[in-house]
Amino acid sequence: MNAEELYSMVHELFVDAHTSAGAARLRALVDSEWPRVKEREANAEDAEVCRLAMLAAAHVQDYGAVRLWRARALARFAAIGWVEGTASIIMGEAFMELARVNDDYSRGRTLNLIQPSSVALGVLGELERFTVGQGSGFQLGPSSPSQAVLKRLYHEKRGFLLLLGGAYHEAGASYDRAYDAAGTHQRGQVKVRLGRFLVDYLAADNSDARGRIAQQTDLLRQEALGASSLDVAETAAANVQVMRRGGSELLPYEIL
């Protein structure tokens, strides 16, 4: 199939890529089409296909495949001058460093167990320059790495990394900037607001405030279902249960 047809199919399959079965379907398709992608001149659709394949591999923690598809995406983003796509790959480097610091999360993936990383925060900081200026003009869909999407992702990921370090005021401000950048992107809006609720919950100093945040999180969980964001909704459901009993073993809304 050609690049446009492949991108359309992969984009559709990515909706279920957070599940093992969904990720397997997507990866089977991109693996079968890779010989044709490899031989084609670099183009935006193939670059984005490689990025989505990378994220699907990350969902199921296949780190070898993550590195392979990251390289393939980076080569194509760079070749066509899609600077925001290139920046999205650099963003992955920050999370690779976070994984290294946490020994690939051998202790667990809840917020009370993940160790912060100043290096990861520093790597992420290099992306701010790509969120201003003219931009490359590339955008295949509402979630592809356009300048607007990158701006939202930058502030959202920065908020998460600051949250890990207990810098709640700065983390909250970063999530607020991410929400402003989300525009009308419903999944982005919901995910950013849920991240902000994690900040508010951990910064709260009484059970009544935490209870209200649990209620707000549950309402957003339902909104996530309406936005076809089942992965986000499932994480929110788990966090609601933790919040209602006043626990700290909250799950991040990021792909680690």
Interior CA angle at 234 toward 228 and 238, to 5°? 155
pTM strictly above 0.85 = yes
Instruction: Give every CB contact of residue 158 below 8 A, 6+ residues apart in sequence.
Output: 121, 124, 125, 174
pLDDT at 104 over 80: yes
pLDDT confidence band for 39 (50 / 70 / 90): very high
In this predicted model, what pLDDT tens digit does every residue of 201-219 receive, in sequence order? 999 989 999 999 999 999 9
Region for 130 from its dihedrals, namely left if φ exceeds 0, alpha if ψ lies in -120 to 50, beta otherwise:
alpha
Please report the pLDDT score of residue 138 as a whole number: 86
Please report the pLDDT score of residue 16 as a whole number: 87
What whole-number distance in Å separates Cα of residue 127 and Cα of residue 129? 5
Please report the pLDDT score of residue 215 as a whole number: 96
In this predicted model, what pLDDT tens digit does every residue of 118-171 receive, in sequence order? 999 999 999 999 998 788 888 887 788 888 899 999 999 999 999 999 999 999
Please report the pLDDT score of residue 141 as a whole number: 79
Please state, in angstroms and as integers, the Cα–Cα distance from residue 112 to each residue in 182, 207, 216, 249, following that order. Answer: 28, 18, 21, 5
pLDDT confidence band for 34 (50 / 70 / 90): very high
Q: What does pLDDT average to over the chain?
A: 93
Residues 156 and 175 sit within 8 Å (Cβ to Cβ): yes
